[in-house]
Structure 1
């Protein structure tokens, strides 16, 4: 599930191995101490996140930062519980400040507890406070650490150049017991006069009959009676019975001094109240309502809810807007307001954009200029800004007559976009963003020619997003997504290639999602990967937890096998069995469909047909539906054929659907595959 907008996050990673390098098995639970209020994002967080180590002993999880703005309570820490197979559990606390967005647990977890007790540290830059019952040896701790000898109460440190130094006694330099108290030695027993106090019972005898009567008369709790009691107590108890005071101590009225601007101003936070700016605005209320509606819509993709394809796959039929690209970061729309993406610093009249991000999440900005002005999603392996998830979409509803998209120009051949208006794309295939100088800021201006409400969508590939400039006179809000989340864990057939326009946003997935009426399509494909083939990335099994389970889809399609076909069928079988089991366990409410390898020829190689059979058999064992691109068969979870169509590649269409490399589909091939997949999926979707 993606993190709601406005919440600062930290991605925590870790790896556990035996001394010989083989991976450990187990879980890591990261728990918040109580219900945390994130008023800046209109959200609460509580409970714990449980991550299971993958086959390499690793995990990755994105968590709420422990120092989010407008968060109550503050000063809390996560509790980490490590439970490794064959070892006793270990528990300790950690801080995850947002200043360090990517943290490896090995950098902040305590070392061997026998070396001393540890305090919580704030990320990799923190230092450790150790203790023991003797002076520290040279091998204890690291440079910058402190150490307390609890036998002599001597503090050492900070450790420098591997040495602790002589240490300093904590008890005033003497290190011994207190010699005297208020002039008394030996066994000291203090009496009231030693500390200027009244003897026991003095205050009780000082109460007058008038005071008792006043207190009795206050039984009705009237303001006048209470004031009378207070006045009498102040007069007799303080002024009369304490000779050290020469003037009355009658309390002054506090209302004015505690008011805003008063000498003793009482802030909302002092009484646990929200400040005025935290009061939920209309936009936030709409967002909450949208979230509730979206949760209802995020149900299983149903056969009966598939819209008419002629309505979902047709191009926009209205007047085409004028689109221009210029190398500048200065907007040209009238009275522009910058709607900035997450994490980008606001300046002047900028506002945080109320965008609907689709197909990706966990947006990050670069570490230095100009990348600090541009956001990219990091929700796919390897989850880093420098190697991001290039395929994603941005939607907004507005009545602006013109808008400008700010972006960083990355490539003359791969940086592309598709503009859709009211759910229909403007073009059949993605278009290049155009640009002048790679690495510089650019504006893509869309002039509609009229001011009417439109739902605007940009599908972007390799386009760092700098926000939208919209006239201040226009109205904007975030749209509502439809029919849940569709995700494909796959290879380059879904991730795209140079043989189709727009790379990842130009493949079969985006068009098939439109045909199914789904707006939130996640392209979690990586080239050259598969069940046993990692390519330059990672296998499906190694990517499942961080790339899929972390962002649970409503419909998951695991599509691949081509890159594995030359390997061992027994290895493919074992990897598939483990993957399907882990997917069902991690995604108990998700529809999971397995799609076999693509054959780029009309006569599939034996390795392809063998792999297709292996995956089909394992899908049936796991009770999962299976779609064969080789045979054209669709099978239900019991393994029975429920639909048949021609194979995806035939002798009649191979020259049209497969590109010049003899492997990857063309634009026509992806369009054909989209329709083919919708036809194959329909019989196994619930009514």
Structure 2
């Protein structure tokens, strides 16, 4: 779509390849401020642009220049987020002034993120005579033919500086030594050829590494038990390196440089509210919601914002949605499935058996919206609507419908036109698009707090004991309490460390279901389905899984959560499995949370928090369903609060 007239633009391009030259796969998201007013063009811009790398690993995007006249705010920058398959993501900021109409990210992106994350584009050269010039040197004073106007000259024998050269002539020189130059006359009260010893500068005369070690230890201490042990090991390496070199300055530089390169990606506990007060319902006027079997919008002048791959027709446009908890969308091979998109980012990664639990968000000023979907099941197809970050209902709702397999519209009448952030958590709902009136707009919001994934079993994947299956479990509720919008439910019922059921064991799903999507935090939660197995076999499988996860995701924060004990008195096999996994986590230097004991242990295996076990005599009748294993809606709400309390002590500040 062409840019509105009166707006200066910059074309941004980039190309990404592996060290062997093969192209990377992934996306680059360029985000503007929440609202950018361009009064000179009578336009308000907001949201983000996400481009997918082509087969050569390239992209091109035309963007609003960051120095447009009459823009508000005046000093703003784009935030660039790079997310690639099997490569760590990163985020940094850039300026795109209109004076440089074509920019390649390779010229401005930081090679080392620790060197800073605010990258301006260097503008064009200034008029002749106004640019900064050069400092030259020689063993004598400069001659008339040396240098150009604006240059400086240093005589390295007499240690005098000349300049700036003007009108083809050099001015008299100024001494850089003591006396007449008026510059440096002494150092620490000493004159002449000054040599400073340790006492002169307050340094450690013995040359020990105490100061450097203290700095390294202090910096390492800022990484709490929630940080990856690999990062702590690198801090320890900085400490050791500081101890082995002779110069205090070199020791400090080495330690600080190594520590500054540490960039653990973690979901932090700072800002998590009191869980007793968290996750309130939407307090605005309740919308009116209805479902009708039709694929024709009832909104006057409606425009369909279509999901990926669905063919556009008529006035349709591609929807700029923020997809959460899933990716790798596909459409069916034949009608009507060609009109509906589903993510395939969980085992077995096919359209027919997709990742059923996922979410999408958008911002709109429309007073009414319609969600087009394919009706799949009267008992499992469900959704939860959230407005401005708050769910409208405490539990998920069935989508409703008439004929299974047919297209339907779910209409949400909001009562008035206002800018709102809309979120749909959906389960078993093939997505056909969002309809709004043609005079209104729809754009993409920004995710918060990173990507949280859970590799688990049916306690996370959901069951018939709770509404909404996977989107009605503890994970989505806990994520909201933690301020995380991108929660990935990578659980499969009946699975575990050594138990595959009809799916695959955790270890076999790690690479394709977890590593490929590069989480900031990974919770490995399971063990119940393994409890009848041999403990030594469970231990070996756990050790292999933890090692593989740490190797493949060196910057990801990993926490292990043990099996649920669905009775007030845990079975011996459950207690044994809990102990086995706790010991395996400690051996791998990973934090461990026990639903059986209520303990949270840090990566060293030390108890850092204790609460009641999740299931007790007092609550078993309400938190566990009729099948005697899976939590109810009440149980998942309580488990969400329980898990936030358990995880918080091992999250970094």
State the TM-score, normalized to the length of structure 1. Answer: 0.60
SS in structure 2 at match of 1:451: coil
**Alignment partner, residue 382 of structure 2:** 416
- Once the two structures are superposed, the pairs formed by residues 258-277 of structure 1 within 5 Å of their partners are none
Give distance in 2, aligned partners of 1:388 and 1:653. Answer: 35
| Matching residue within 5, 10, 17 for 1:46 | 17
**Alignment partner, residue 461 of structure 2:** 495
| Matching residue within 439, 447, 457 for 1:481 | 447
CA contact (8 A) 1:302 1:685 kept: yes
1:40: Cα distance to partner? Answer: 12
Give distance in 1, aligned partners of 2:440 and 2:276. Answer: 32
- Once the two structures are superposed, the pairs formed by residues 418-457 of structure 1 within 5 Å of their partners are 418-457=384-423
**Alignment partner, residue 507 of structure 1:** 473
1:366: Cα distance to partner? Answer: 0.5
1:477: Cα distance to partner? Answer: 1.1
Give distance in 1, aligned partners of 2:81 and 2:433. Answer: 22
| Matching residue within 79, 83, 89 for 1:289 | 79
| Matching residue within 314, 320, 325 for 1:359 | 325
Give distance in 1, aligned partners of 2:59 and 2:309. Answer: 27
Deviations 1:171-210 (A, max 9, x none): xxxxxxxxxxxxxxxxxxxxxxxxxxxxxxxxxxxxxxxx
1:392: Cα distance to partner? Answer: 0.5
**Alignment partner, residue 376 of structure 1:** 342
Q: Which runs of 4+ in 1 moved over 2 A?
A: 39-45, 48-51, 61-65, 70-74, 278-283, 285-299, 307-312
Larger relative contact order (Cα-Cα within 8 Å, sequence gap ≥ 6): 2
CA contact (8 A) 1:325 1:444 kept: yes
1:46: Cα distance to partner? Answer: 1.6
SS in structure 2 at match of 1:303: coil
Change (3 A) 1:273 1:545: closer
- Once the two structures are superposed, the pairs formed by residues 257-656 of structure 1 within 5 Å of their partners are 279-280=62-63, 289=79, 291=81, 295-296=90-91, 299-309=265-275, 312-656=278-622
1:543: Cα distance to partner? Answer: 0.2
Give distance in 1, aligned partners of 2:539 and 2:452. Answer: 25
1:45: Cα distance to partner? Answer: 3.3
1:397: Cα distance to partner? Answer: 0.4
Give distance in 2, aligned partners of 1:523 and 1:630. Answer: 22
CA contact (8 A) 1:312 1:424 kept: no
Deviations 1:149-183 (A, max 9, x none): xxxxxxxxxxxxxxxxxxxxxxxxxxxxxxxxxxx
Give distance in 2, aligned partners of 1:619 and 1:489. Answer: 15
1:308: Cα distance to partner? Answer: 4.4
1:63: Cα distance to partner? Answer: 5.0
Change (3 A) 1:64 1:476: closer
Deviations 1:488-525 (A, max 9, x none): 00000000000000000000000000111111100000
Change (3 A) 1:538 1:43: farther
1:434: Cα distance to partner? Answer: 0.2
The number of aligned residues is 437
Unpaired runs of 5+ residues, structure 1, are 1-38, 52-60, 79-271
Give distance in 2, aligned partners of 1:449 and 1:73. Answer: 42
Change (3 A) 1:590 1:71: closer
Larger radius of gyration: 1
Unpaired runs of 5+ residues, structure 2, are 1-9, 28-50, 69-75, 84-88, 93-263
Change (3 A) 1:72 1:624: closer
Change (3 A) 1:287 1:472: farther
Give distance in 1, aligned partners of 2:21 and 2:501. Answer: 29
Give distance in 2, aligned partners of 1:71 and 1:541. Answer: 29
Change (3 A) 1:342 1:639: same
1:43: Cα distance to partner? Answer: 5.6
Change (3 A) 1:300 1:502: same
Give distance in 2, aligned partners of 1:657 and 1:526. Answer: 21
Give distance in 2, aligned partners of 1:516 and 1:448. Answer: 27
SS in structure 1 at match of 2:360: strand
1:72: Cα distance to partner? Answer: 11
Give distance in 1, aligned partners of 2:54 and 2:537. Answer: 50
1:476: Cα distance to partner? Answer: 1.8
**Alignment partner, residue 11 of structure 1:** none
Give distance in 2, aligned partners of 1:579 and 1:618. Answer: 10
SS in structure 2 at match of 1:489: strand
Give distance in 2, aligned partners of 1:482 and 1:568. Answer: 41
Change (3 A) 1:287 1:436: farther
